[in-house]
């Protein structure tokens, strides 16, 4: 039986995420560590879903984020690393076409994601270590990124907000 995005949004209890798409926290470590001058959980994990017209807008975390493919269409993870180099990862199950079922996004990278096929959705899991905290989350506008990375204009205009949502 074919499932659509609304099936997963409703049955998994996903809510809108500020960077785009939908999410739900699934696991938070009981253990904590000292990180970034404060205490953070050892890891956190979420479900994350992008619908056919959604993108996960460019943002940055202070922690590594490991992505796992669960279903739907493959997902492209767009990354501008700390050196300013742009590259893409394809998250999916078609290994012969360059997809991988899991992808790591290194800490301090600027990244976002988009669904490969129009009219489709992607359901993934994301695990962050040290654990996610909104204090460690930075969302970017097009003008902020274009000033620093003008050579990546095409992907920045697709993957960054014109102005930040309130």
Range of the domain at 18: 5-159
144 belongs to a structural domain: yes
Give how many domains the chain has, as a whole number.
1
Output the pLDDT for position 75.
96
Query: Strand pairing of 99-100 and 86-91?
Result: parallel
User: What pTM did the predictor assign?
Assistant: 0.93
The model's pLDDT over 73-131, given as tens digits with 9 standing for 90+, comes to 999 999 999 999 999 999 999 999 999 999 999 999 999 999 988 779 999 999 999 99
Distance of CA 115 to the CA centre of its chain: 11
Is 166 inside a domain boundary? no
Q: What local confidence, expressed as pLDDT, does residue 1 receive? A: 64
Q: Is residue 165 part of a domain?
A: no
Per-residue burial over 64-82, b = 16 or more CB atoms within 10 Å of its CB, e = otherwise: bbbbbbbebbbbbbbbbee
| Residue of higher predicted confidence among 36 and 53 | 36
In-domain check, residue 33: yes
pLDDT band at 65 (very low <50, low <70, confident <90, very high): very high
CATH code at 85? 2.60.120.10
User: Reduced to 3 states, what is the DSSP secondary structure of residue 85?
Assistant: coil
On whether residue 18 sits in a domain, the answer given is yes
Please report how many Cα atoms fall inside a 13 Å half-sphere around the Cα of residue 124, on the Cβ side.
Answer: 30
| Domain contains 37 | yes
Is residue 147 included in any domain, yes or no?
yes
pLDDT above 90 for 141? yes
Residue 164 belongs to a domain: no
Is the pLDDT confidence value at 61 over 80?
yes
């Amino acid at each position: 039986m074919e499932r659509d995005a609304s099936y997963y949004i409703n049955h998994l209890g996903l809510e809108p995420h500020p960077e785009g798409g939908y999410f739900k926290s699934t696991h938070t470590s009981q253990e904590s560590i000292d990180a970034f001058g404060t205490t953070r959980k050892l890891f956190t994990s979420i479900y994350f879903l992008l619908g056919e017209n959604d993108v996960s807008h460019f943002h940055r975390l202070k922690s590594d984020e490991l992505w796992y493919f669960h279903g739907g269409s493959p997902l492209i993870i767009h990354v501008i690393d700390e050196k300013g180099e742009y590259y893409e990862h394809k998250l999916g199950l078609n290994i012969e076409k360059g997809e991988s079922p899991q992808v790591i996004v290194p800490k301090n990278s600027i990244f976002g994601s988009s669904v490969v096929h129009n009219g489709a959705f992607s359901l993934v899991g994301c695990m962050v270590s040290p654990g996610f905290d909104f204090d460690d989350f930075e969302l970017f506008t097009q003008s902020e990124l274009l000033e620093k990375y003008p050579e990546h204009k095409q992907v920045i205009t697709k993957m960054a907000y014109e102005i930040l949502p309130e």
